Amino acid sequence: MKFIKRLLIFSLICIILGATTIFGFYFYVKSDLPDVATLRDVKLQTPMQVFSQDGQLMAQFGEKRRIPLKLDEMPNELLEAIIATEDSRFYEHYGFDPIGITRAAFAVAASGSASQGASTIT
């Protein structure tokens, strides 16, 4: 019984120290983080297009040949394929995957290097 009590106290201390560290780090870097509104207005590099007088596309210039799409313009099959590849439990959590984080932590502890991540599509 004494062991369980000590284990609970130790666990509580670890949780409090961990939470304090996370909040402290957040407030330390908070001033350097970008505003959320600026993150929503992403300007993607699109190619320069040259058209003839009659409106025909003659050429495209630029390193990146991408055209931004809205989410509702993308085929549902593509979205499902991305989700299946990147985060199979996407619909089971709310942007924070404790199972993935735990798996990645054990992988780092076992290999000594970050061999996998715990990120999710958010």
Give the pLDDT of residue 118: 66
Mean pLDDT of the chain: 83
Give the pLDDT of residue 120: 65
Out of 17-21, 99-103, 111-115, pick the least confident. 111-115
In one-letter notation, the amino acid at residue 37 is A
Give the pLDDT of residue 13: 96
Q: Which residue has the higher pLDDT, 74 or 100?
A: 74
Q: Kindly indicate the confidence band of residue 44, based on its pLDDT and cuts at 50, 70 and 90.
A: low
pLDDT tens column, 62-94: 767 677 788 899 999 998 898 888 777 787 877
* Residue among 53, 54, 116, 57 nearest 87 (CA): 116
Burial 44-83 (b: 16+ CB within 10 A, else e): eeeeeeeeeeeeeeeeeeeeeeeeeeeeeeeeeeeeeeee
DSSP label of 88: T
Q: Kindly indicate the confidence band of residue 104, based on its pLDDT and cuts at 50, 70 and 90.
A: confident
